[in-house]
Structure 1
Amino acid sequence: MGRAATAVDGALEVPAIDISSWTTGTEADRRAIATAVDEAARTVGFMQIRGHGIPEGTITAFADALDAFFALPLEQKKELRPPSPDVNRGYTPPRTEKLSLSLGVPAAVEDLFEAFNVGSEAVAFPGLDLPEEHYPANLWPSVPGFRQAVGEWCTRAGGLAERLLEIFAHALGLEDGYFAPFTDHSIDVLRMNHYMLPEGELVIDRDQMGMGAHTDYGIVTVLWADRVPGLQILDAGGDWHDVLPEPGCLLVNLGDLLARWTNNRWLSTMHRVLPPTDDRGRVVRRRSAAYFHDGNWDAEISCLPGCVPADAEPLYPPTTVSRHLAEKLAGSRTGKLNANSPREAARLRAAKGG
């Protein structure tokens, strides 16, 4: 959160890391994977994961489900809007959010994207009596095969997030399974995004963002995205760098809670999505889906063992997952400036090129 990605000679590389041997390889294999992840987490905050084990058929079915939903008429999609902005489920029409508000920075215009969210439900954890406000029921469209394909993607992406936390524990010198008690009823949300102007509009507004600059709120994000330009990440010098996923890779980035946990040893990197356009300035279609693995609503996040020097104080006070998420979501979804992100706000204001 307080630090930023490091560019070398003006270039910012998002390393590709093969994790296929994590569960079946030797201890040397596991150590090499953990070392590569630690390097990426300390210097970029993003990485490309290959060897993730998600079948191509699952990815294709999921992409087809996204297409089928976003192709519905706007009024039909609007019927799936949540009852209030505090409910992080259902449909978000274009130009109804400003992601930069989650950092405490006003935006000139609303972000271009439309989205559909599903996530962890209280009924999935019988006996825990979880609060509905943090684990609300999903709103499902009547699109054939949508729920099955999206549910399968959530299972696969969630499994990958859990495997990544095993790797993270190893990379941070923690015992195996360290993060499990913080994530065994994790608030997980899948946000499916679509970038396209409504019918009849051809050119974007001045200052328009596809998705405004922000850091992710939780622990770790698993991102599937089209190989269409638009995603950019911010480096320590205030420059924006394009990120395009390599074939066969999923993008993974770290969230604010993991940066707090590690006392900024690891980065929650600021990123944004420019409106994807052709050479005539017309918006072209782009899809992405971010699976946010955010931790238990009641988990307390304070600095991890070994991440605070003996003669220093932690950079962040303890917080809970639910408190942190509420502050962030109040910015992006209800239009309230988040006053608790001064470091990120300063970085965004200092960024070059808007």
Structure 2
Amino acid sequence: MTSAETVNGILTIPTIDITPFVADDSDGEARAAIARAVDEAARTVGFLQITGHGIPDAVRDAFTAATDAFFALGPQAKRAYICPPPINRGYSPPKSESLATSLGITTAADLFEAFNVGTTAADYPELDLPAQEYAANVHPAEVPLFEAAVGAWFAEAGRVARTMTRVFALALGLPEDYFGRYTDHSIDVLRMNNYRLPSADAPLEPDQAGMGAHTDYGIVTVLWADQVPGLEILGSDGRWHPVQPADGALLVNLGDALARWTNDQWISTMHRVAPPRVGGELVPRRSAAYFHDGNTEAVIECLDVCTGPSRPPRYEPVTVGAHLAAKLAGSRARVPNPHAGREAARLTATPLAMPPPR
């Protein structure tokens, strides 16, 4: 399948088997077919799901068990791992963030809680990397296996993300290793999300979401998620379409950096997580997003293969670090981002997608 369609009210996004890239298969036609399928998905929906990713079930199971153990801790224990907003690490309590503010749009605080780990300066001792972007990780002492289990998933999801950048390069007609120069010390973050709500009948504010409407900030996101309703993609019809992953598949979506590199030839997917409901009742939901964002000093500017006399660049060049800082100041510090006009316009231009005025 190479295009999205709706079946029984659920958006069925393209499913692509990336085994030839994971197995380093030399079959050029098989790899070219995958690149063509990814290009079509990137142009039409910006979301796909991948099979053949090679992550063992045991790694996933240990990872989800460790994250479940952390989120089961009491509020006081979890709050000990809160980091200041500029440090994208540690614990974020419920209603402490608003993802829509990364677009410059003010809404009610989001319901999710999260825990972040990421690439650190210590991972690259030969480089003089900024401590804020490459901050040290914190790990909950109450969950002894957390660091090892989360670290194993971080490594596997990172491998998948880097594999996808090779596919992207081929899909754009570039050398397969093209993005390597921009990602050899990439700011990568793994965000573990829990949509635990106070009760099944908890009252919600009119515009409150599990996670507010946003585009992801970097190059590519590799997402594991429960098969529980909640994730929704904004379609070209201005409506939100539910998405659920297939058994064993990972969801992959493109971020702002790739949309900017491709001059909007590829889509940075607008998505949100509605308060998860089954049979009309609020239910728990979990996910884990690995964000592959690029080197802090890397300059994002429209690729020559995506520009021309009839398609001038739509974006000014910006470094990965500056772009991420503006986005994170919005979502984490609740400072509306003034630099996300093109992304925000996709939401504000479709009244059906906007929350009611506050």
| TM-score when normalising by structure 1 | 0.94
Q: Percent identity between the aligned chains?
A: 55
Give the equivalent residue in structure 1 for 2:191: 191
User: Residues of 2 paired with 1:144 and 1:87: CA distance?
Assistant: 23
SS of structure 2 residue aligned to 1:175: coil
Give the equivalent residue in structure 2 for 1:270: 270
Matched residue count? 346
Distance change in 2, residues 1:8/1:306 (3 Å): farther
SS of structure 1 residue aligned to 2:293: strand
Q: Are the equivalent residues in 1 in contact too, given 2:10–2:244 (CA < 8 A)? A: no
Q: CA deviation at 1:24?
A: 1.4
Q: CA deviation at 1:161?
A: 0.6
Give the equivalent residue in structure 1 for 2:220: 220
Give the equivalent residue in structure 1 for 2:332: 333
SS of structure 1 residue aligned to 2:291: strand
User: Residues of 2 paired with 1:344 and 1:154: CA distance?
Assistant: 28
Give the equivalent residue in structure 1 for 2:166: 166
User: Residues of 2 paired with 1:93 and 1:311: CA distance?
Assistant: 47
Give the equivalent residue in structure 2 for 1:249: 249
User: Which deviates more, 21-30 or 97-106?
Assistant: 21-30
Q: Are the equivalent residues in 1 in contact too, given 2:100–2:331 (CA < 8 A)? A: yes
Give the equivalent residue in structure 2 for 1:322: 321
SS of structure 2 residue aligned to 1:352: helix
Give the equivalent residue in structure 1 for 2:72: 71
Give the equivalent residue in structure 1 for 2:38: 37
Q: CA deviation at 1:217?
A: 0.3
User: Residues of 2 paired with 1:248 and 1:214: CA distance?
Assistant: 26
Q: Are the equivalent residues in 1 in contact too, given 2:4–2:12 (CA < 8 A)? A: no
Give the equivalent residue in structure 2 for 1:61: 62
Give the equivalent residue in structure 2 for 1:21: 20
Q: Deviations over 1:242-301 (max 9, x none)?
A: 0000001000000000000000111001000011123343x2110000000000000001
Whichever residue aligns with residue 69 of structure 1, its letter is: F
Q: Are the equivalent residues in 2 in contact too, given 1:232–1:240 (CA < 8 A)? A: yes
Q: Are the equivalent residues in 2 in contact too, given 1:7–1:235 (CA < 8 A)? A: no
- Where relative contact order (Cα < 8 A, 6+ residues apart) is larger, the structure is 1
Give the equivalent residue in structure 2 for 1:92: 92
Q: Are the equivalent residues in 2 in contact too, given 1:7–1:236 (CA < 8 A)? A: no
Give the equivalent residue in structure 1 for 2:346: 347
Moved over 4 A (4+): 5-12
Whichever residue aligns with residue 228 of structure 1, its letter is: V
Q: Are the equivalent residues in 1 in contact too, given 2:121–2:134 (CA < 8 A)? A: yes
Q: CA deviation at 1:351?
A: 4.1
Whichever residue aligns with residue 346 of structure 1, its letter is: A
Distance change in 2, residues 1:244/1:11 (3 Å): closer
User: Residues of 2 paired with 1:114 and 1:138: CA distance?
Assistant: 17
User: Residues of 2 paired with 1:183 and 1:346: CA distance?
Assistant: 29
Whichever residue aligns with residue 73 of structure 1, its letter is: G
SS of structure 2 residue aligned to 1:86: coil
Q: Deviations over 1:134-165 (max 9, x none)?
A: 10101110112110000000000000111111
Whichever residue aligns with residue 262 of structure 1, its letter is: T
Distance change in 2, residues 1:11/1:54 (3 Å): closer
Give the equivalent residue in structure 1 for 2:236: 236
Whichever residue aligns with residue 111 of structure 1, its letter is: D
List aligned pairs for 1:89-168, cutoff 5 A: 89-107=89-107, 109-142=108-141, 143-168=143-168
Runs of 5+ unmatched residues, structure 2? none
Distance change in 2, residues 1:243/1:124 (3 Å): same
User: Residues of 2 paired with 1:176 and 1:105: CA distance?
Assistant: 37
SS of structure 2 residue aligned to 1:228: coil
Distance change in 2, residues 1:248/1:351 (3 Å): farther
Runs of 5+ unmatched residues, structure 1? none
Q: CA deviation at 1:133?
A: 1.2
Q: CA deviation at 1:21?
A: 1.6
Q: Are the equivalent residues in 2 in contact too, given 1:239–1:351 (CA < 8 A)? A: no
Q: Deviations over 1:213-243 (max 9, x none)?
A: 0000000000000000000000122111000
Whichever residue aligns with residue 190 of structure 2, its letter is: L
Q: Deviations over 1:145-195 (max 9, x none)?
A: 110000000000000111111111111000121111100000000000000
| TM-score when normalising by structure 2 | 0.93
List aligned pairs for 1:174-213, cutoff 5 A: 174-198=174-198, 202-207=201-206, 208-213=208-213
Q: Deviations over 1:300-348 (max 9, x none)?
A: 0111121002344200010000000001011111111111112222322
Alignment RMSD (CA, Å): 1.8
Q: CA deviation at 1:12?
A: 4.6
